[in-house]
Amino acid sequence: SSDQAALIFISLVAVLLLAESPRIVKEPEQLVGIPSGWEAVEKLSSKDLTHFVIAIRQSNLKDLERTLLDVSNPSSPRYGKYMSFDEVNELVRPSADDVDVIVQWLQENGVSVDNSCSFSVAGDFLSCYVSHSHIKRLFNVELSRFVHAKSQVSVVRSLEHYTLPSDVHQVVDFVGGLLRFPDMSAHDKKANPKAAIGVTPDVLRHRYNISKVVGNNDANSQAVAGFLKQYAHEKDLLEFFAEFGLFFHHRDKLSKIVGSMGLLSGVEASLDVEYIMSTGANISTEFWSMAGTHEGQEPFLEWMLLIANTSDAPHVHSASYGDVESSLDVTFMQRVNTEFQKAGVRGISILFASGDDGAGCNNNASAFEPNFPASSPFVTAVGGTEFGISSAHELGNFISSGGFSNVFEQPTWQSAAVSTFLTSPNHHLPPASFYNAKGRAYPDVSAASSGFWVVSNLVPLPGVAGTSCAAPTFSGVIALLNDARLSAGKPTLGFLNPLIYSSAHASPLTDIVDGCNAGCSEAAGFCAVQGWDPVTGMGVPNYVAMQTAWV
């Protein structure tokens, strides 16, 4: 009868409504598996607690990018008119409907959001601390504990991609703490006593035309990030400046340490702090330690969240962290770019070491391999140089990572400089099949990256090398320029790249025209030439010229 048919239909609809939404793989392009240097220790039990972070879909992203480009373009009437912390948070705040979808899904799976989770200030990240049994229900994965043999850092991760119900999938960018293993390259930083020239603060201050200039504005600030048991101790700072800081005024202490500190210093962290405080001398300096409160936390994600949640974040951040683009999901990288944009519209400068792999090489040696976040259009990537027989002769370092993104389009602010490089008849380019000439090109700038003296655990170490030498060196110069701008009643420099490339025909940077980076298989890398190049960018600092042009 028609009544029976109607009842059957209603029953079927009820079953369909009660059924869970189809599940969809999230971050399908994210590389999974155990990286070199890590080993599996044990699977988690159902009661073991772990941590995850949901990146919730944000609002008004086109407005955010448009605003960033306006306030960062020196020819724009809005140049330097940054947004406040509260304004940025309100701009990107997710819709209430999107948040409700996530909260309801968590609660239906037994997670008490009020007790186990916390939202970021903008409401665009949700951090939760739950049992492994909840993780299995939510994401359909098993987690195991892994240990990095050299550093003894432990993490909890899945070796399979996680899935989300389709309705949740639509409102989530990614979930942190499930897939990505942290970059441990900082633990490989070594001294090399055979380095050609000993680089000290005085060498850099002379070479980069800083002389005795130091900061003196109380409103100024700079910071370096320390990842995964990389700590910087003030006893090392005192020893370092007693040895190498006799001829300029400087501070001997960090103004603030964010996060936990371990007993031993790391060479990477010591290097970063000692040299940002040498070029950016006498400026309030913070050390942000991303040790990871829980094994589920991703240190890089933790760092981004800290910038996003800190209303008085320092004006300049130097970071030495990265991975190859091909190992990361595009949606993840795009969300990271949004976090960089959120910082830029607040007037914050973020500088990343470009990497130490030259042009890079993919698994089958058929193409170059770009690094991220250096390849992000929304950070300033710092490549590496080295000194020849004297500090007056500077050339591109073969380790200096640089090239072209395979993910991000080439921004308009660098297209003229990059086109000049690609079309110049005066140099040989690698085979066109090895790189994406239309991609975001990096690095943007460079600085010395080998032969550095560093004090770590009270021991002076010679010959430390890597673009992680260059990033804090250049960052300190930017902080020094911010100091002069603030003292003149002007805003900080903020997102630097449009400014760096705007003066391409009369750049205040010192152009580097010698040296090539390492290539891949039979393809040579790129070489430094007049103007921009994928080894040294637009060049190395010249403080006096930069002060004249940018202050």
- Residue positions annotated with a catalytic role: 268, 272, 468
Q: What are phi and psi of 310, to 5 degrees?
A: -105, 115
CA separation, residue 138 to residues 106, 173, 175, 323 (Å): 7, 16, 11, 27
Q: Which residues contact 37 (CB under 8 A, 6 or more apart)?
A: 148, 149, 150, 184
Contact, 517 vs 526, CB < 8 A? yes
Burial class (CB in 10 A: 0-12, 13-18, 19+), 492: buried
Q: Which helix (H) or strand (E) holds 109?
A: none
Cα distance between residue 44 and residue 162, in whole Å = 16
Cα distance between residue 134 and residue 139, in whole Å = 8
Cα distance between residue 467 and residue 380, in whole Å = 13
Q: Which of 342, 299, 341 is nearest to 321 (CA)?
A: 299
- Tokens, residue 436: 């994406």
SS3 49: strand
Contact, 368 vs 359, CB < 8 A? yes
**Which string of DSSP letters, residue by residue, matches 196-224?**
SS-B-HHHHHHHTT-TT-----TT--EEE
Burial class (CB in 10 A: 0-12, 13-18, 19+), 119: middle
Residue 441 carries which side chain, given as an amino acid letter? A
Token look-up 């000194």 returns 387
